[in-house]
Chains A and B, each alone.
Chain A
Amino acid sequence: MSSLNWTTDLLNQLVSENITAEQISLPSTTLWQIESIHWQHYAELAIQQNVRWVAGWAEHVQDRFFINACFEKQGIYVLLRTIVNVAKPELPSQATVYPAANRSERHTQDMFGINFIGHPDNRRWTRHKAWAKHNYPLRKDFPLQGEPEAITPPDIDYPFVKAYGAGVYEIPVGPVHAGIIEPGHFRFQAVGELILNLEERLGYVHKGIEKIAEGRTPESLARLAGRISGDTTVGHCWAACRAMEQAAGVEIPPRAALIRGILAERERVANHLGDMGGICNDVAFVFAQMQFTRLRELWLRTNATIFGHRLLMDRIVPGGVVCDLSEASCALIKEDIILLRKELSEIMPAIDLNSSLEDRLYTAGYLSPEIASAFGTLGYVGLASGQDKDVRRDAPYPPYDQATFKVALEDQGDIASRFWVRYKQINAALKLIAQFIERLVAGDILAEWQTPPPGSESLSMIEGWRGEITAYIRFDADNKIARFYPRDPSILNWPALEKLTLNNIVPDFPVCNKSLNGSYSGNDL
């Protein structure tokens, strides 16, 4: 028998197996605490009910580690927690059940020294050579400055997967790439031009974001969150602020929520315009690249005029926003929407009818719905492979709780699908911006901050332009941050790239990569 809410079913199942899940109430978050020996079994029960693995992270509290994993189905999120002793930091792995948890557990292993027993691939992930094997940066006794060498040696002995056989060869790419892009390493095994295997090696832009977040004030944390991934400055800043606001019991004014919505949708449009041009450019269709970069530039200039920053950094602050919208600004935004619609109505048919583009983008970089689901892929990557997820609809937060829009969905799973999902999302975003302007009520844009009691914690979900962003916050005394964990959608999307490039040719890798466009910085933290 299944009830409407999956959590009831799962709780019943836990009870029937004599597993105690202590239910702890947190602001806007359901927290279940279980014993560490049941960690993996919980995952097995959850996956049977098609519950999605969302995020995983740990925290060092005195002589214990809190280990967290977040799960979702039907827009209902559950935070699962277990506690292990620092003296014996081990628990069964969930990555054996959920491939999505794989890299996250490796990150936790590197940063805390927690051993996930039975992990299918426990090679180091975030750690290169900046700190020693038995040092763990996110333990409280690890000093912020660490003990780095004058020159950190290159990570030359990472045990990559090897392929052998006649005609098989290896192509190492990066960390410094040929274009103007972020650094990371890709290791290809190929025969002729055919890709047999691709292995990603990320972590090059690890900047210690989780460590330097500790001890910050809410304002300072918002600034840091706005720099987790520069293209998602609105998304991450909003997620962090929302988590802090929930923890502190601060309600933002309705006007601030609407302006945040406008900022987030403008960020979505700007990035999708850039990506659509980029995808076409990677198959040498320069017409589209020129048109889309032109439209993106116009869009960013409006951002600068209205909000005072082209990429909209630091517009969202704890308690609200810092930029109000005048009547004239609203009129300008509306004009902008009309203009963009007209431009796209001329450009898109020219692209749609182009047979060269069709040849390169259709069927290329195919990601099956099964793999997309196993990795928990998000945003346009998941949507293009039939993963019908959108936080704005599934677990709506203001101002989306009163908005109507259609979630773009495709099922072909190829680069073309990921291209068209972006286009549909632009259209939906333009409608949303218009709705938010219509609904713009008079009033404050910033609520007064209240210092939360020590230990207050919360989890927030925001639909960024790449998909669901998750942010976890725990406060210390005196309004200081004890723990901040941001989960960029890229963390779940990156592994899908290793799969969708298989059986493509090496020269198609750039367009495959662009169609996914993961954030390196958001992944490496």
Chain B
Amino acid sequence: MLQLFKKILTTGIVTEKYKAPKDDELEKLGIQIKRHIDKKFSGSIAIRAIDAGSCNGCELEIHALNNPYYDIERFGIHFVASPRHADVLLVTGPVSRHMQTALLRTYEATPNPKWVVAVGECAACGGEFGVSYASCGAVSNVIPVDMVVAGCPPTPLALMKGLLGLINK
């Protein structure tokens, strides 16, 4: 147990600060995000992530938003388990036809006002997979999309910027 506490103490807080020499853009962005969220959603937005057919690359980077460097929850952005608790749907992948109904139902289950963010090349335009017997292609072919975060996959910083762009709308 002592070793555990020692490691926690020596690790300290790695979350990147506004004036930190590296990645100061991150904090700046985060603070801007927070201001906008304050205005529209009383200081917090709840995100439901849905993989509608992705290769899992985007999920890895969405996960990274929760690591101690980005720690996105400090800005009032958090991930929820149910679409009924969500303000924002973060959708990845080309929409596989086998996921089409599941995505539509998740969208319907999300209360208004809601925003849809299409994350990654595939969600934006179909990417490597396009439209086929198995894939509906871009998310906008299935549900209305408010915002696109491009990248294959988008970096955690790009995801933060994307959320800011959405809130600026």
Task: Please list the residues of chain A having a beta carbon within 8 angstroms of any beta carbon in chain B.
Answer: 128-131, 137, 142-148, 151-155, 175-176, 178-183, 203-209, 211-212, 223-224, 227-231, 233, 274, 287, 290-291, 293-294, 296-297, 300, 304, 310-311, 313, 346-347, 349-350, 353-354, 519-521, 524
Contacts and interface: CB of A to CB of B under 8 A. Distances in A.
**5 A-B pairs with least C-beta separation:** A230-B57, A146-B133, A208-B134, A178-B81, A130-B97
Contacts of B101: 151-154
A176 B102 contact: yes
Given A207-B135, A212-B130, A212-B132, A311 B51 contact: no
B148 to A, nearest CB: 18
A345 B129 CA distance: 43
Interface stretch (B1-9, B25-33, B34-42, B161-169): B1-9
Contacts of B1: 350, 353-354
Given A146-B133, A152-B100, A180-B62, 5 more contacts: A178-B82, A208-B134, A229-B56, A293-B64, A350-B7
A128 B98 contact: yes
B155 to A, nearest CB: 6
Given A224-B128, A230-B58, A231-B56, A293 B68 contact: yes
Interface string B113-148: 000000000000001111111110000000000000
Contact of A521 (B49, B55, B83, B104): B55
A313 B133 contact: no
* Most chain B beta carbons < 10 A, residue from A152, A211, A520: A152
B59 A145 contact: no
Q: Which secondary structure characterizes the binding site on chain A?
A: loop
A137 B57 CA distance: 26
Nearest to B142: A151
Nearest to B22: A301
B11 interface: yes
7 contacts: A145-B133, A146-B134, A181-B59, A227-B127, A294-B68, A300-B64, A350-B6
B20 interface: no
Given A146-B133, A228-B55, A230-B59, A207 B96 contact: yes
A310 B61 contact: yes
- Report the contact-size class of chain B (Cβ under 8 Å from the partner): 35 or more
Nearest to B2: A350
A154 B63 contact: no
B56 A182 contact: yes
Contacts of B62: 180
* Most chain B beta carbons < 10 A, residue from A175, A297, A300: A175
Contacts of B6: 346, 350
A519 B56 contact: yes
Contact of A208 (B3, B93, B132): B132
